[in-house]
Amino acid sequence: MTKRRTPFTVFFALIFLAAAAASGSAHQFPAGAEKLAKSEECSGCHAAIYTEWTASMHANSSPFKDNAHNAVRLKFAASLKQMGKTPSYHCANCHTPMADNIADLMSGKAQPDSDNWTHTEGTGCSFCHRIESIVPGKEFNQYVLNKDGSFYSSNPSGKAPHKTAKSALFSSGEVCMGCHSHMRNSKGAPICVMDEEGASNCLTCHMPEAEGSPAAGSEKKTHFSHALPGGHDIDMLRKAVSLDMSVDTSAKPLKVAVTLKNISAHTFPSTMPMRLAFLKLTAEDSSGRVVWTNIKESPMEDMQSVLVKMFKAGEEKGVAPWKAEAVAMDTRLKKGEERKLSYTVPSDNIKTVSVSLIYRLFAPPAMKMMGIPADGKNDKVYMVIKKKVDL
Ligand code: HEC
Ligand code: HEC
Ligand code: HEC
Ligand code: HEC
Ligand code: HEC
C-alpha cells in the first residue's frame, strides 16, 4: 500500500475555485459514447474483484437491492406529491448512476424499473472506470464519462485485452468525489459534507490491497479490494475510534472518565445523517447485577454519550433531510477529535464498570419516520468496542 496516493487537498481547492453549478441534471456522456457494460461482463476475467463488488453497497445501492434506500425515496416522493410537485428520483445520480434514462428519473418523467438492468446495477465496474472528470455542483457533483469506453486506472499494465487509459483521478480518492463529496438540499442545508469533514486519500483505508490476482493471467498477486466497507462492516467500524476508560476509586461517588478518539479520516459516524453511535455505561455489583447505567431505554437520556447529526426546520427538530433548513445539532466526532467524557457513578458495592460503543445504521426514530424495514440488517445493533474495569 505504499505506491500511489497523492495528497487530496489540492482537489478540494480546485473544486471550490471552480464553484460552477452542475450543468444539466445527469452525468454527461459525449455524443456517440460507447454504452456502459454490465458488470457481469467483467466477472470471467476479474473474478476476485467481481465477487467483492457484488457484496458491496455499490452493487446494492438501487431501490431494488437496498430496502432502506427504497423506503426513504418513497417517503421523499410522497412528500413531493403532498407539496403538489412531481415525485422525482434525483437519488439516481448516485444510487443508480448507470440508468439509461437517468435524466428522466431525476426529473420525475420516469420511475425506477426493476426489469431494466441499468436501474438495478448500482455503481458498476464500467461506470467508475470510465469516469473522466467531475462537474462541481451546488447540491451535489456529477461526472463526465469518456467516449471511447477505455477503462481508467492510475497505472495501466498494458496487458489488458480491452482499452485502458491512465488517469490521475484514480491515484487518490478524487474519483469518488462525484458522489461522496457533498449533498445539500434545495434550501442549502448540508445533508452530507464529506468535502468539509474529511480530506485525505479515501483509497488507503477503503481500498486496501487484498490477496489474489486482479485478473486472470495477470502477474500480480494482489489487487485493490473492491469490497469498499463502511458502516455496514463491524471490522471497519472498529477502525474508526479508540476508546479508553479509567475509574477514580478514591472519589465517592466514583468518577469514571471515558476518552473517545476519532482515528478515521472523517467524521464518525460518517456521513449519512441517519447514523447513530452512543456510549452505554453500566456498573455492576459482585453478583453481576447492574446497579447503575447512563441509559435505561433511549440513548437520548444521556446526550453527552450520543454521536449524531440532526436537522431542523423553524423550531421543529429531527426533520427529514429534504425539509431541513439547518443543522439542529451535530455531536459526531470530528476528524482527529479526542473527546473526554466524565460520569459520576452514585453507588457503593460496585465491582465492575463497563463501557460499550454501540453503532446503528439508522437511529430508531429515523427508521420509524422513514418506514425503514426492521429486517435484522437495518436495525442491527453493532457492539463496536467494549471495555471493562474491575475495581
Ligand atoms: C477477457 C478478459 C477480461 C475481461 C472480460 C475484462 N478484463 Fe479488465 N483486464 C484484463 C486483464 C488481463 C487485465 C490486466 C491485468 C494485469 O495484468 O494486471 C485487465 C485490466 C483491467 C484494468 C486495470 C488496467 C490495467 O491495465 O492494469 C481495469 C480497470 C479493467 N481491466 C476493467 C475491466 C472492466 C470494467 C471490465 C468489464 C467491463 C473488464 N475489465 C473486463 C482482462 C479482462
Ligand atoms: C456513482 C456514485 C458513487 C461513486 C463513484 C462512489 N460511490 Fe461509494 N457509495 C455510493 C452510494 C450511493 C453508496 C450507498 C449505497 C447504499 O447504501 O445504498 C456508497 C457507499 C459507499 C461506502 C459505504 C459502504 C457501507 O457499508 O455503508 C463506502 C465506504 C464508499 N461508498 C466508498 C467509496 C469510495 C472510496 C469511492 C471511490 C473509489 C466511491 N465510494 C465511489 C455512490 C458512489
Ligand atoms: C450526491 C450523491 C447522492 C444522492 C443524490 C443521494 N444519495 Fe443516498 N447515499 C449516498 C452515499 C454516498 C451514501 C453512503 C454514504 C454513507 O453511508 O455515509 C448514501 C446512503 C444512503 C442511505 C443509507 C443506505 C444504507 O442502507 O445504509 C439512504 C437511506 C439513502 N442514501 C437515501 C437516499 C435517497 C432517498 C436519496 C434521494 C432522495 C439519496 N439518497 C440521494 C449518495 C447520494
Ligand atoms: C467505486 C468505483 C469503482 C468500482 C465500482 C469498481 N472499481 Fe475497479 N478500481 C477503482 C479504483 C479507485 C481502483 C484503484 C485504481 C488505481 O490505483 O489505478 C480500481 C482498480 C481496479 C483494477 C486494478 C486492480 C489492481 O489491483 O491492479 C481492476 C482490474 C479493476 N479495478 C476492475 C474492476 C471491476 C472488474 C469492477 C467491477 C466488478 C470494478 N473495478 C469496480 C474503482 C472502482
Ligand atoms: C484513515 C482511514 C480512512 C480514510 C482515509 C477514509 N475513511 Fe471512510 N471510513 C473509515 C472508517 C474506519 C469508517 C467506518 C466508520 C464510519 O462508518 O464512520 C469509514 C466509513 C466511511 C463511509 C461509510 C459511512 C456509513 O455511513 O456507512 C463512507 C461513505 C466513507 N467512509 C467514505 C470515505 C471517503 C469518501 C473518503 C475520502 C474522502 C474516506 N472515507 C476516507 C476510514 C477512513
Domain boundaries, the chain: 9-59+123-224, 234-390
Of 92, 182, 166, 157, nearest in space to 129 by CA: 166
Tell me the three cell numbers of residue 53.
Answer: 463488488
Atom of ligand 2 nearest to the CA of 56: 24
| Protein residue whose Cα sits closest to atom 37 of ligand 2 | 176
Where does residue 188 fall: left (phi above 0), alpha (psi -120 to 50 degrees), or beta otherwise? left
| 290 bridge partner residues | 284
135: three-class secondary structure by DSSP: strand
Which ligand has the nearest atom to the CA of 41?
Answer: 1
Residues with CB under 6 A from ligand 1: 37, 41-42, 44-46, 125-126, 129, 151, 153, 156-157, 159-162, 164, 214-215, 217-218, 220
Dihedral in degrees, nearest 10, Cα atoms 108, 275, 241, 58? -30
The per-residue pLDDT for 348 is 82
Q: Are 314 and 325 in contact (CB under 8 A)?
A: yes
| Closest residue CA from atom 11 of ligand 3 | 180
**Fold adopted by 234-390:** Immunoglobulin-like (2.60.40)
The residue type at 87: P
Confidence (pLDDT) at 271: 83
Alpha-carbon distance 302 to 367, whole Å? 20
Report pLDDT digits (tens) over 250-262: 988 999 999 999 9
Q: How far apart (Å, rounded) are the C-alpha atoms in residues 275 and 363?
A: 6
Q: What's the one-letter identity of residue 185?
A: N
What is the three-class DSSP state of 32?
coil
Cell numbers of 11, please?
482537489
C-alpha cell at 341: 467524557
| Radius of gyration for the chain, computed over Cα atoms and rounded to the nearest angstrom | 23
Distances in Å between the alpha carbon of 263 and those of 133, 139, 202, 238? 30, 29, 14, 10
E strands along the chain, which residues?
131-135, 142-145, 151-153, 164-166, 183-184, 190-192, 209-211, 222-224, 241-248, 254-262, 276-284, 290-293, 306-307, 309-313, 316-317, 326-330, 338-345, 352-360, 382-390
**Tens digits of pLDDT across the chain (391 residues):** 333 333 333 333 233 323 333 334 689 999 999 999 999 999 999 999 999 999 999 999 999 999 999 999 999 999 999 999 999 999 999 999 999 999 999 999 999 999 999 999 999 999 999 999 999 999 999 999 999 999 999 999 999 999 999 999 999 999 999 999 999 999 999 999 999 998 789 999 999 999 999 999 999 999 999 999 999 999 999 999 999 999 998 988 999 999 999 999 999 998 899 999 999 999 999 999 999 999 999 999 999 999 999 999 999 999 999 999 999 999 999 999 999 999 999 878 899 999 999 999 999 989 999 999 999 999 999 999 999 999 9
Nearest-CA residue for ligand 2 atom 43 is 179
Predicted pLDDT of residue 3: 37
Q: Any idea what the Cα angle at residue 207 is, between residues 35 and 37, rounded to 5°? A: 10
Cell reading at 47: 473474478
Q: Sign of the C-alpha dihedral, residues 320, 323, 329, 332?
A: positive
Asked whether the whole model's pTM tops 0.85, one would answer yes
